[in-house]
């Protein structure tokens, strides 16, 4: 059995700027990129840009 180690960290290029969003379901605020951001807390796609 082979183990690689800890969790994978994804580093974004400095030029990629995430937009700020707020989840309409749970109120979580987060940064997201892409056309369909998803809340990291509850996985809802019902979010709005703030």
Q: How far apart are CA 20 and CA 28, in angstroms?
A: 11
pLDDT of amino acid 10: 54
Ranges of beta strands (E only) in the chain are 19-23, 29-32, 47-49
Tokens of 48: 């709005």
pLDDT of amino acid 33: 85
Asked whether the whole model's pTM tops 0.75, one would answer no
Q: How far apart are CA 37 and CA 7, in angstroms?
A: 22
């Amino acid at each position: 059995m082979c183990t690689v180690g800890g969790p994978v960290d994804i580093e974004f290029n400095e030029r990629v700027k995430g937009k700020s969003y707020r989840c309409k379901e749970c109120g979580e605020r987060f940064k997201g990129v892409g056309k369909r951001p998803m809340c990291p807390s509850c996985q809802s796609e019902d979010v709005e840009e703030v």
